[in-house]
Amino acid sequence: MNISGLVGKILSELPERTSQIIAARMGFETGQPRVLEAIGKELGITRERVRQLEASGIKQIDKVLSKSSVLDDFFQVVDSHLDHFNGVREEKRFLKELTFLINADDQEIAKIRFLVFLHKKLSFFPEDENCLAFWAKDKKFASRVIEFVKKMNKTVLLKKSPLAVEDFEKFVKEIAKASGFSGVSIGSLMSWVSLSQVILFSPFGYIGAEKHLEIMPANVGDKAYLVLKTKEQPMHFRDLAGSMNQYAKTSSGFHPVWQKTVEAQTVHNELIKNKNFVLVGRGIYALSEWGYEKGTVRDVVIQIMKKARKPLTLQEIVVAVKKIRLVKDTTIFINLQNKDYFGKTKEKKYVLKITK
């Protein structure tokens, strides 16, 4: 389907200046609609005159199309695709999908949007605090969908923590049932979820709102915390930075904060000063909540032996140390050779010589 050809044919019915105004207002060249004032300055007329000519041009196009079948095939594709989502679809997704279906170029999205606007059986709902902009076949039905989205937004905002992705479908179905949408497919329901201005996804399988740490980490430290919690094991600060930057490459569906890359040294600086993290090896950090402890290997061994209150074998000490530090067996053994701090019994068990 030749979109540029269709648009050109439609605009050819208009006076040249009116055609220019509509093209500029729809953003055909740049993809971004131009404001009335800027167009007026360029043409040497007032912004109000630009608005009048635009409105007049649209009326003239509508009159021509009422007697023409030039857009029938295009409208059929639009209707058919919208039906897959029970007649309601978020605008950006809708236009992108239409671009694919009619084999058009991404640069033609503004023209596709213009043609959709000419479809008199569709209604456009602009963005507001609850919903993104969307298209719908039926205004009354769309109003019910808006209430469904509002109810989801309110419920998510009341939750202290985000939902796990495996629990989200059940949550959506419950809200749908309460909204009178029991018979609607989960595919359509999830499509309507995409209308929400509140509900967001995280790279770690959580769905919630900006107030939830897992959705919108406030800083590098929060990101590092979430990565470590997901990996469930200590990591070198460079690997942590690498993981964050990997998320940044694939974060288009997540909160924009995830799209920011980080420097390894920035991560290291945050880990050093943040109490949520413990250095457990050379450049390797763990979460404090995992039970890892700060200090030298010798300090850790001393604390273990103090708590034990009895002589310990080398193996017992190694096992205990490795629960709270990442360190080689030989390193532990070498530290135990310090005779100022440790001694050995006849049974070849280690004892603490001093108390600190």
Q: Is residue 117 part of a domain?
A: yes
Is residue 154 a contact partner of residue 139, using CB atoms and an 8 Å limit?
no
Residue 212: per-residue pLDDT: 92
Residue 106: per-residue pLDDT: 87
Q: Are residues 283 and 309 in the same domain?
A: no
Domain that includes residue 227, residue range: 220-290
Which amino acid appears at position 72 of this protein?
D
- Sheet bearing 206-208, strands edge to edge: 163-164, 206-208, 200-201
What is the Cα–Cα distance from 300 to 288, expressed in whole angstroms? 14
What is the Cα–Cα distance from 279 to 180, expressed in whole angstroms? 53
Q: Are residues 76 and 199 in the same domain?
A: yes
Q: Are residues 143 and 17 in the same domain?
A: no
Burial of 232 (0-12, 13-18, 19+ CB in 10 A): exposed
Q: Are residues 128 and 249 in the same domain?
A: no
Burial of 144 (0-12, 13-18, 19+ CB in 10 A): middle
Q: Are residues 106 and 203 in the same domain?
A: yes
Count: domains in the chain: 4
| CATH code for the domain of 232 | 1.10.10
Q: Give the long-range contacts of residues 258-261, CB within 8 A, separation 24 or more.
A: 258/202, 258/203, 258/223
Q: Are residues 228 and 285 in the same domain?
A: yes
User: In the chain, which residues have pLDDT < 50?
Assistant: none
Could you count the other beta carbons within 10 Å of the beta carbon of residue 306?
11
Q: Is residue 215 part of a domain?
A: no
DSSP 312-347: B-HHHHHHHHHTT----HHHHHHHHT-TTTEEE-TT
Q: Are residues 225 and 205 in the same domain?
A: no
